[in-house]
Chains A and B, each alone.
Chain A
């Protein structure tokens, strides 16, 4: 019978049906970081359990690690304690740790793919909701809580209910100046932040066929912002080319066997889905959020919505968002003054994100009064950017070039907004207070749009600022 990739991977990793009706699913690859794992190691100790498959758990530090000060001890004693705790837990249990001195440290969702740990047809879990990123390789990857981290450490399995699968096709060609970030913001804007609850999203169509692996990662990364715990793209030649030669990729005969095996997991052409949604690439414009969740997004040429114009069920949330964001309802979002510009995160902190932004900022200067930071997603990304001289392009333009980490995406380290500063951000969440100040405001957008905002000091249409391609006629 024809099956989707999700069904095939699920079947290959099913251990048994549990007495409560859930499936006991083997998770082949477990990724951990310093914030959500220490309590799990504590629970294991309390239960006197050991790590069952230590060679299948990989650790790094990303959430709280400072991006300016890289020498330990860190100024924040709590951050320092958390990193030491992870180091100790890894040493005691034999878990591989991509620590700061390794040259491989970085955001867990950047490190996994770049080390070749993320592979097609596998199951992956991490105590972080953006684990869906790894789906770009045709893996089924779940964000989990700490109790499930305990379950994985102890058994390499967890209890889960099977998801339904929604196929999302984006066909046609993206217009110039429209990026993967715009595609996922557009999808979430259309299907809603809870539209994906209970679903795995399978992304496909010409746009995804043409996307690079990094672009696929950007889209899969934000699946959870649309409510879908899992998002994936079927593996193809691009996937295999990306993985070839990476540290954890198979070599020699094993490589050939692995590729054949990986191909077999791709969804069968005639498989059925629980739902199918079609998008036309030409309808997607550079997209920005205006509110307090990622569904509250508009094209950069649109006006900020009004309470009156909202559907009855949305009026309260629109009013709450407008009050928090202090944006003028019914006026263009373009021209809104920005205070901080952030390029980085597990959504948009990879080499191609910095390459693309650097192409346009070269020869420009960050507007006066704007703080702009560029934070590579990993030490490897940092090293390649330095090799190519990209960090100099950013620095010459007036950006601060930082060390690798999550940084201002969730502001658990010293990179935070102050007061009600407005941030143009390439990250993934515009929740109230997300970027570290309880009144701070976040506008999500692509890295090139952040670059345009940094240079003009206001939310801008990057296509105008940099003279890219045609302008949307809307």
Chain B
């Protein structure tokens, strides 16, 4: 199972402002009543995008100018709270292929990386200047350069980081490790054999 080497992601961006955007906000719990992840994209940010009657609220994802954006920019501690993989799955199925935030919650970061979604960290100032550039020209081409840890937008470029293990995993096509985990079955059995509780 050869995975894609994700060295960069390009496209258009949308800025969803706010800090501490939790996974309940990204995908409210009531939409997790499903046995597959198909169709979750429709409910992304549902309660902040939709009124209770289903009509649109003012939200960057409802703004025609940002339709088709595949890169999402936000604030601090993005994806905090529940471990639900439904959150990065909803982002992915909506069409997002890269994230840029000031910081991420631990579990969300791991879940996203495992789906091949690079999670970049950038400074508040840089995110704001990219957001301003998107606002001025929503069609501005943005590239998240995973290999070189930079974000290019228009003729500008800023430094941004991807945690080293994730960067390596993405660039080398090793973000989903099931194959390699599975190859170690005899080593796994050896470790399990040394742990008495594993025999119960």
Query: Which residues from chain A contact B200 at a C-beta distance below 8 Å?
Result: 55, 248, 250
Known contacts: A193-B77, A433-B28. The answer to whether A36 contacts B85 by CB under 8 A is: yes
Interface segment among A17-25, A203-211, A278-286, A382-390: the answer is A17-25
A residues less than 8 Å from B106 (CB atoms): 197-198, 227, 229
Distance A171 CA – B36 CA, assembled complex (angstroms): 47
Interface string of B36-67 (1 = CB under 8 A from A): 11000000000110001000000000000000
Question: Chain A residues with Cβ under 8 A from B34's Cβ?
Answer: 78, 82
A20 partner, pick from B82, B177, B196, B197, beta carbons under 8 A:
B177
A18 to B80, CA, bound (A): 27
Q: Which residues of B contact A410 (CB under 8 A)?
A: 24, 29, 82
- Chain B residues contacting A250 (CB-CB under 8 Å) are 196, 200
Residue A169 at the B interface, CB < 8 A? no
B93 at the interface (CB under 8 A from A): no
Chain A positions 93-129 with a Cβ under 8 Å from a chain B Cβ: 119, 122, 127-129
Complex CA gap A282/B32 in Å reads: 42
A438, B28: Cβ atoms closer than 8 Å: yes
Contact B83 A147 (CB under 8 A): no
CA distance A12 to B122 in the complex (A): 36
Shortest beta-carbon distance from A82 to chain B in Å: 6
Q: Do residues B85 and A146 form an inter-chain contact, with CB atoms below 8 A?
A: yes
Residue of B nearest to A194 (CB): B77
Q: Are B165 and A24 in contact (CB under 8 A)?
A: no
CB pair A143–B107 under 8 Å, yes or no, is yes
- Residues of A432-463 at the interface with B, using a CB-CB cut-off of 8 Å, are 432-434, 436, 438
In the bound complex, residues from chain A placing their C-beta under 8 Å from that of B107 are 129, 143-145, 224, 229
In the complex the two chains form, is B184's CB within 8 Å of A15's CB? yes
Complex Cα distance A5/B172, Å? Answer: 33
| Residues of chain A contacted by B47 (CB below 8 angstroms) | 432-433, 438
A317 touches B184 (CB 8 A): no
Q: A55-B200, A433-B28 are in contact. Are A129 and B81 (CB under 8 A)?
A: yes
**Interchain CB contact under 8 A, B29 and A412:** yes
Bound CA–CA A288/B80 (angstroms) = 20
Number of chain B residues whose Cβ lies closer than 8 Å to a Cβ of chain A = 64
Task: Check A35–B32 contact: CB distance below 8 A.
Answer: yes
Give which listed residue, A19, A194, A293, A317, contacts B180 with CB less than 8 A: A19
Q: Which residues in A have their C-beta under 8 angstroms from that of B83?
A: 36, 127-129, 131, 143-145, 224
What 1/0 mask marks residues of chain B from 64 to 103 whose CB sits below 8 Å from any chain A CB? 0000000000001100111111101100000000000001
* B36–A145 CB distance below 8 A: no
| Alpha-carbon gap, A280 to B114, bound state (A) | 40
Q: Which of A148-156, A303-311, A359-367 contacts B (4 or more CB under 8 A)?
A: A148-156
Q: Hey, which chain B residues are within 8 Å of A147, CB to CB?
A: 85, 111, 114-115, 176
User: Which of A46-54, A332-340, A373-381, A465-473 is near enough to bind chain B?
Assistant: A46-54
Report A32-57 CB contacts with B as 1/0, cut-off 8 Å: 00011011001000010100110110
Task: Tell whether, in the assembled complex, residue B80 and residue A227 are in contact, meaning their CB atoms are under 8 Å apart.
Answer: yes
A194 and B111 in contact (CB under 8 A), knowing A15-B187, A19-B174?
no
Interface string of B161-197 (1 = CB under 8 A from A): 0011100110010111110111011011001101111
Contact A197 B84 (CB under 8 A): no
- In the bound complex, residues from chain A placing their C-beta under 8 Å from that of B77 are 193-194, 197, 227
Q: Is A417 an interface residue (CB 8 A)?
A: no
**Chain B residues, CB < 8 A from A53:** 192, 198
Residues in chain A near residue B110, CB distance under 8 A = 144-145, 148, 160
Top 9 A-B residue pairs of the complex, sorted by shortest distance between their CB atoms: A145-B85, A145-B111, A38-B35, A129-B83, A438-B47, A78-B33, A143-B83, A20-B169, A146-B85
27 A–B contact pairs at CB < 8 A?
A12-B191, A15-B184, A15-B187, A18-B180, A20-B172, A24-B188, A26-B195, A28-B197, A29-B197, A36-B32, A49-B178, A81-B35, A85-B35, A145-B83, A145-B84, A145-B85, A145-B88, A155-B182, A155-B185, A194-B77, A194-B105, A410-B29, A411-B29, A429-B81, A431-B25, A433-B24, A438-B28
Write the residues of chain A forming the contact surface with B, with a CB cutoff of 8 angstroms.
Answer: 12-16, 18-22, 24, 26, 28-29, 35-36, 38-39, 42, 47, 49, 52-53, 55-56, 63-64, 76, 78-79, 81-82, 85, 119, 122, 127-129, 131, 143-148, 150-151, 154-161, 193-194, 197-198, 224-225, 227, 229, 248, 250, 254, 257-258, 261, 292-293, 316-317, 320, 410-412, 429, 431-434, 436, 438
Residues on B facing A (Cβ under 8 Å): 18-20, 22, 24-25, 28-30, 32-37, 47-48, 52, 76-77, 80-86, 88-89, 103-107, 110-111, 114-115, 163-165, 168-169, 172, 174-178, 180-182, 184-185, 187-188, 191-192, 194-198, 200
Known pairs A227-B105, A429-B81; list 20 more (Cβ under 8 Å): A20-B169, A20-B174, A21-B168, A24-B181, A24-B188, A35-B84, A49-B182, A82-B35, A128-B82, A145-B83, A145-B114, A155-B185, A157-B188, A193-B77, A194-B80, A224-B81, A258-B197, A410-B29, A412-B29, A432-B48
